[in-house]
Amino acid sequence: MNNKAIPTLRPQDIVVLLKVFLEGSRPWNQISLAKSLFISQSEISASLKRSAYARLLQNKGKEVARQSFMDLLQYGTPFMFPQQPGVVVRGIPTAHSAEPLVQLISSTENYVWPYAKGYMRGHSILPLYPSVIQAVELDPQLYECLALIDAIRVGRAREKNAALELLHKKIC
């Protein structure tokens, strides 16, 4: 039996995979991903290796396996990276409180990523990775997708289903 640890996915792997997917046919490398996600290059490298091991990357690790990634988001994310709404804080809207779900879901409760410079008060939801807050300021598409993923992580059936439908249209 091999003594090496089996690589298991981490929350930042979802963020990295999402960014690789959003890059589409644009050329990227580990350094450009690291800069755009505010994650160290070594952590990007480790993340890509874990994702390749999990068969979430194809084409020599340059392309996301779309259906497998969607399955992970739908069936794995709520259980592997669950989140419960916390105390009310100032932050950046997420889940059903952010675009595009805010247009579809009417709610009196807001969910936010805690951030002192945020503009909304709501129940705190920890992002998949701390640097997400910086990264989404540079990439509105990343922000939209991560907010949808948060709806899958914390939402009720209606929010989850709406988020899954929107993500499926983007990814598959």
Q: pLDDT tens, 4-37? A: 677 899 999 999 999 999 998 899 999 999 999 9
- Grade residue 1 by pLDDT with cuts at 50, 70 and 90: very low
Give domain limits for the chain. 11-80, 88-171
What single letter denotes the amino acid at residue 144?
Answer: E
Q: Quickly list H helices, 114-156.
A: 132-138, 140-154
Q: pLDDT tens, 40-98? A: 999 999 999 999 999 999 988 889 999 999 999 999 999 999 999 999 999 999 999 99
Task: Flag whether pLDDT at 3 surpasses 60.
Answer: no
Q: Which helix (H) or strand (E) holds 57?
A: strand 57-58
Q: pLDDT tens, 139-166? A: 999 999 999 999 999 989 999 999 999 9
CATH of 11-80 given 2.60.40, 1.20.120, 1.25.40, 1.10.10: 1.10.10
Kind of pairing, strands 111-114 and 120-124? parallel
Q: What is the DSSP string of 64-121?
A: E-HHHHHHIIIIIHHHHS-----SEEEEEE-GGGSTTGGGT---S--EEEE-TT-SEE
